[in-house]
Amino acid sequence: MNRLLLLLCTLCLALPLHAADALPGDSVYQLPVTLTDQAGHAAPLAARRGQPQLVSMFYASCTMVCPMIIETMKATRHAAGDPAALKLLAVSFDPARDSVARLADYAGRHQLDPRWWTLARAEPAEVRPLAALLGVQYRQLPDGDFNHSSVLLLLDADGRVVARSTIIGRTDPDFVAAVRRLAGGRP
Amino acid sequence: MRRRAIAAALLALAVACATASAAEYVPMPGGRFASVLPADGKTAPAQVAPFALRTEPVTNAEFLAFVRRHPAWRRDRVPTVFADGRYLSQWAGPDTLGADALPAQPVTRVSWFAAQAYCASEHARLPSWYEWEMAAAADATRADARSDPAWRERVLDWYSRPSGHALPAIGGPPDLHGVRDLNGLVWEWVDDFNALLVGSDSRDQDGADKLKFCGAGAISMEQKENYATLMRIAMLSSLKATDTTANLGFRCARPIGETP
Amino acid sequence: MSTLLRTLLATASALAIAACSGKPDAATPTTGAAPPQAAAQSGIPGDFGPPQGAPIHAVLTSPPNVPPPIHRNYPAKVIVDLEVIEKEMPISEGVTYTYWTFGGTVPGSFIRVRQGDTVEFHLKNSPDSKMPHNIDLHGVTGPGGGAASSFTAPGHESQFTFKALNQGVYVYHCATAPVGMHIANGMYGLILVEPPEGMPKVDHEYYVMQGDFYTVGKYREKGHQAFDMDKAIDEKPTYVLFNGHEGALTGDKALTAKVGETVRLFVGNGGPNLVSSFHVIGEIFDTVRQEGGTVEQHNVQTTLIPSGGAAMVEFRTQVPGSYVLVDHSIFRAFNKGALGILKVDGPENKAIYSGKEVDSVYLGDRAEPNLHAVATAAKANAAGTLSKDDQIAAGKQLFTGTCSVCHQANGAGLPSVFPPLAKSDYVAKLAGKDKDALIAIPLHGLNGKVTVNGVEYDSVMPPMTQLTDDEVANILTYVLNSWDNPGGQVTKDEVTKVRATPAPAAGGEH
């Protein structure tokens, strides 16, 4: 919790720095949140700037919808022609259980190619602002599971949300088209 | 070890971020609480740890002081991912209140991100929904007055008042805990506003949003008669974190024992 | 629901295959106006293919007006902009209520599209709103009728698109929790989906919608009235109204037509609770499309309109006069406000109707409330300077609003139904020797047989409990000093005294 307070409070100090590289006001990279990936590397979310991103949130213990979110991200990338520039990012909203090791294990089991896939965790207090930013609703249940909404976001190189889809379990043609337009995959 | 380091960082921050005004916080007991949103979506009561709650909503004057100390939160500088176009638009200027925003009125048209940042500047956070709901159940003499029709009437009276009129100032009568204005002045942000997974079509008793909301599905509403609270949830669940409205303000909370 | 879930899981397993096909959408827009009977590309009845031509902004109208007929022979994209506005408005004379509205009126704006049109719906929620709202259009085929796609916070806008596949007239309403309260506050309206060939031409089309309202105070209790959830759950409305306000369709605001013209009413019922027995006194509906469907019924006196339903009724006017729209669950009409007037002008036709008409005194000047005299009297009473003339002036206003519905503005009553107050031997007798019994009539009502001016009446007059002691005193003083009655005066204190005594047993004869 404290870490979030620190971050939000220093946001005011951080913003002018971002402004220096002309980060757009509608970029999600405005949020100073640190992500740790399945290999244990920690970096600010904003470090992903420069390449288009397909982003969602999940948690590793989820047995039904979350694997479908991951599969839908895979399928969307493929349907868009496997664009080389496109990066895929799924952030856990269960940092208590989703350790780096668990994320690595999950990536292995789902055969997520580390060249474009990132599974990431954030500090507990930073998860909700990130979800708020991405428009994801979630709520932890007493048994440790989560209720959550499912959404895929397409970010441009500067972190602006270009497209959004709530269709899970199959590819959304409009969303795929947006990915292809942005990331320029093979037709 | 890590906690200690953070506490030190926070102390350092207190110098940079300290508020000029001394907002008052009072301790709240916590405990088991029959929320209108059962913890497990069925009947489980909520468990609330003791916490401290700000006695009054944040005012225009207080938020103005914050914006002057942290100009990044001026309405002409805030990134659009953190606040929509109506953010603080009732103020005469980016750092002046003007005639339409009196100092003692609760600040409204603030986004969730802005409210979070303000609370951080008071070394606090937004209250959780359960904390807020539990606090708002009190009246002048009881910690949970919700079964009293008079409590409900007081809440509903505000709903039925048109919102064209100017907001009153803060400083309504204190409840049992010494907290004011929880009901009857403005809507208030809660930290986990985006955890209130109410189906957007509330008639889906069976949770048509099971697809949208993984797991146990959209929360079913307990105590349907307690629609006064239900309407607040409907309001909060309609919001995005960047949204601002003319009737939406906030107050802050702190974990007990972590006041600076 | 579980079916959907199964479907989802099934599609998930087929995901890889489905995702690899990657074919572009087959649908390519055709140009030129296709005939309305063009085969549906989708094979779905009512789908006449993709929208053609430039997008059209729908004309929305406030009740009782209906947008003009659509003369178009191709499916179009129609853009509907509807704003939710929460506002205080009068629900009756001197009574205000906070309505939640689609477009600023109750019922909400009338929407008119053509079958096969693609409707791009923009729901805006005013920045001043307190509540989030959404819209469920009964004319939409899809989950929640659009409700799930249109949940909108104050100061925001939602957009969704649907194809109007079925012709008919459909209710729309807000479906945000608590749904009943949003509807009870006025959040409903009608959308008409015209058949491709259009509707038969008529001289007048009007929009009338019934709703029930639940206020904390009694019927016509003055001041601002809040919503009463308990009464709503008990289904005991304070008001049952056409077009949201008492007097919305009377006086200057009466619907109008000329003799020999055809009139089509789109009549909806928003509820939230009551079913309407819709009737126009003195008319027979030549054609009714009951429940808004396609089957025509003819020669109908009263048609049922379910809550959340609508009907189209048509008739040709034959004889001039005032025709009264009522919910024929008749206490709702005379004691809760469900009244409207259709005023028909033109030459008499004695061959069809030669009898004495019921004229337009039903709440005659209610449309332009003038309670100045009442206010003056109340003030004078408070100051202790109330004169008999003040009382008579105030009583006249109150009589017009409350009593003239039955006893008529000229005190003549209605033969064999409502006894006369004009030159009434009954009034004179009580005024002379049993004033308390006279006062008891408005306070406690009057049941059973009474003989007035030699004619026997056997009706029920309900207690006028909404009237204050003041108002009863003024009304009675007015009656005593009008129409050759014997004169006299009734004071507030006298009324207070009678109110404190129990109601007399049934049977009016003393």
Of the candidates A68, A168, A171, the beta carbon closest to that of C19 is on: A171
Let me know if residue A2 belongs to a domain.
Answer: no
- Report whether pLDDT(C384) > 50: yes
Name all chains with 3 or more CB-CB pairs below 8 Å to chain C.
Answer: A, B
Tell me how close the Cα of B217 comes to any Cα of chain C, in angstroms: 11
Let me know if residue A5 belongs to a domain.
Answer: no
Burial A46-73 (b: 16+ CB within 10 A, else e): bebbeebbbbbbbbbebeebbbbbbbbb
Copy the structure tokens of residue A156. Answer: 């441009």
pLDDT class for C157, splitting at 50, 70, 90? very high
pLDDT for the residue C13: 32
Residue C185 near residue C107 (C-beta atoms within 8 A):
no
Of the candidates C5, C155, C227, the beta carbon closest to that of B245 is on: C155
Task: Find the range with the poorest average confidence among A68-82, B205-219, C349-363, C461-475.
Answer: B205-219
pLDDT for the residue B168: 85
Interval C207-233: pLDDT, tens: 999 999 999 999 989 899 999 988 998
Name all chains with 3 or more CB-CB pairs below 8 Å to chain B.
Answer: A, C
Let me know if residue A15 belongs to a domain.
Answer: no
Q: What mean pLDDT is predicted for residues C438-454?
A: 87
Q: What mean pLDDT is predicted for residues A81-109?
A: 95
Tell me how close the Cα of C49 comes to any Cα of chain A, in angstroms: 20
- Report whether pLDDT(C507) > 80: no
Of the candidates B162, B211, B227, the beta carbon closest to that of C98 is on: B162
pLDDT for the residue A5: 41
> Omega of the bond prior to C107 within 30 degrees of 0, cis?
yes
Residue C402 near residue C464 (C-beta atoms within 8 A):
yes
Strand locations in chain B (E): 25-28, 31-33, 46-48, 51-54, 187-188, 248-249, 253-255
* Cβ <8 Å between A170 and C25: no
- Report whether pLDDT(C294) > 70: yes
Q: How many CA atoms lie within 13 A of C306 on its CB side?
A: 8
Structural domain span for residue B165: 2-255
For residues A162 and A160, give the distance between their C-alpha atoms in angstroms, rounded to a whole number.
6
How many domains does the structure of chain A reveal?
A: 1
What DSSP string runs through C67-95?
PPPP--SS-EEEEEEEEEEEEEEEEETTE
Strands C223-225 and C239-242: unpaired
For residues C211 and C273, give the distance between their C-alpha atoms in angstroms, rounded to a whole number.
8
What DSSP string runs through C368-394?
S---HHHHHHHHHHHHT---HHHHHHH
- Compute the count of residue pairs across chains A and C with CB atoms less than 8 Å apart: 29
Residue A78, judged by CB atoms within 10 A of its CB (0-12, 13-18, 19+), counts as middle
pLDDT for the residue C461: 81
Task: Find the range with the poorest average confidence among B39-53, B203-217, C168-182.
Answer: B203-217
Looking at per-residue confidence, does B138 or A8 come out higher? B138
% of chain C with per-residue pLDDT over 70:
86
Q: What is the CATH number of the domain that holds B237?
A: 3.90.1580
For residues A162 and A156, give the distance between their C-alpha atoms in angstroms, rounded to a whole number.
6
Task: Find the range with the poorest average confidence among C252-266, C306-320, C339-353.
Answer: C339-353
pLDDT for the residue B259: 45
Interval B201-259: pLDDT, tens: 445 443 334 333 333 333 444 444 577 787 888 888 888 999 999 899 999 999 886 44
| Residue reference for tokens 């853009």 | C79
Please report, as a single letter, which amino acid is at residue C120.
Answer: E
pLDDT for the residue C355: 54
Report angle CA A149, A151, A155 to the nearest 5 degrees.
145
Is A150 an interface residue toward B (CB < 8 Å)? yes
Q: Which residues pair with C118 in a beta bridge?
A: C77, C163
% of chain C with per-residue pLDDT over 90:
51
Copy the structure tokens of residue B139. Answer: 């009246």
- Report whether pLDDT(A3) > 50: no
Strands A87-92 and A53-58: parallel
Looking at per-residue confidence, does A127 or B168 come out higher? A127
* Cβ <8 Å between C144 and B204: yes
Task: Find the range with the poorest average confidence among A60-74, A77-91, C208-222.
Answer: A60-74
Q: What mean pLDDT is predicted for residues A81-107?
A: 95
Q: Which residues pair with C270 in a beta bridge?
A: none
Contact map slice: B 78-97 vs A, CB within 8 A: 78-82
Let me know if residue B39 belongs to a domain.
Answer: yes
Is A173 an interface residue toward C (CB < 8 Å)? yes
Looking at per-residue confidence, does B214 or B195 come out higher? B195
- Report whether pLDDT(C449) > 50: yes
Of the candidates B10, B44, B197, the beta carbon closest to that of A137 is on: B197
pLDDT class for B175, splitting at 50, 70, 90? very high
Tell me how close the Cα of C27 comes to any Cα of chain A, in angstroms: 13
Identify all chain B residues contacting A28, using CB atoms and an 8 Å cutoff: 81
Task: Find the range with the poorest average confidence among A138-152, C101-115, C362-376, C483-497.
Answer: C362-376
pLDDT for the residue B76: 95
* Cβ <8 Å between C132 and B207: no
Helix axis angle, B149-159 to B227-237, nearest 10°? 40
pLDDT for the residue C42: 67
* Cβ <8 Å between A170 and C22: no
Of the candidates C5, C148, C152, the beta carbon closest to that of B210 is on: C5
* Cβ <8 Å between A147 and B82: no
pLDDT for the residue C15: 29
Let me know if residue A133 belongs to a domain.
Answer: yes
pLDDT for the residue A16: 44
> How many Cβ atoms from other residues are within 10 Å of residue C131's Cβ?
26
pLDDT for the residue C9: 32
Spell out the residues 6+ positions from residue C364 whose beta carbon is closer than 8 angstroms to its own.
C250, C251, C400, C404, C409
Task: Find the range with the poorest average confidence among A168-172, C157-161, C363-367.
Answer: C363-367
Let me know if residue A14 belongs to a domain.
Answer: no
Copy the structure tokens of residue B17. Answer: 């971020």
Let me know if residue A138 belongs to a domain.
Answer: yes
How many domains does the structure of chain B reveal?
A: 1
Q: Which of C7, C11, C15 to mutate to test the interface with A (most CBs of A within 10 A)?
A: C15
Give the three-state DSSP class for A9.
helix
Residue of C nearest to A167 (CA): C8
Let me know if residue B260 belongs to a domain.
Answer: no
Identify all chain C residues contacting A168, using CB atoms and an 8 Å cutoff: 8
Q: What is the CATH number of the domain that holds A113?
A: 3.40.30.10
pLDDT for the residue C41: 57
Residue A121 near residue A103 (C-beta atoms within 8 A):
yes
Backbone angle region of C20, left / alpha / beta, with phi > 0 → left and psi within -120 to 50 → alpha: alpha
> Omega of the bond prior to C178 within 30 degrees of 0, cis?
yes
Considering the entire predicted model, what is its pTM?
Answer: 0.68
Report angle CA C12, C16, C17 to the nearest 5 degrees.
105
Dihedral sign for Cα atoms in the order A129, A132, A134, A140: positive
pLDDT for the residue A12: 42
- Report whether pLDDT(C22) > 80: no
Contact map slice: C 3-32 vs A, CB within 8 A: 8-9, 11-12, 15-16, 18-20, 22, 25
Interval A148-157: pLDDT, tens: 888 999 999 9
Task: Find the range with the poorest average confidence among A11-25, A69-83, B96-110.
Answer: A11-25
Interval C256-267: pLDDT, tens: 999 999 999 999
pLDDT class for B156, splitting at 50, 70, 90? confident
Backbone angle region of B154, left / alpha / beta, with phi > 0 → left and psi within -120 to 50 → alpha: alpha
- Report whether pLDDT(C415) > 80: no
Let me know if residue A7 belongs to a domain.
Answer: no
Is A108 an interface residue toward C (CB < 8 Å)? no
Task: Find the range with the poorest average confidence among A111-120, B103-112, C230-239, C501-510.
Answer: C501-510
Let me know if residue B80 belongs to a domain.
Answer: yes
Q: How many CA atoms lie within 13 A of B259 on its CB side?
A: 14
- Report whether pLDDT(B199) > 70: no
Report angle CA C180, C186, C189 to the nearest 5 degrees.
105
* Cβ <8 Å between C22 and A79: yes
Structural domain span for residue A159: 24-183
Strands C52-57 and C309-316: unpaired
Burial C454-481 (b: 16+ CB within 10 A, else e): eeebebebeebebbbbbbbbbbbbbbbb
Interval B115-138: pLDDT, tens: 999 999 999 999 999 999 999 999
Let me know if residue A53 belongs to a domain.
Answer: yes
pLDDT for the residue C84: 95
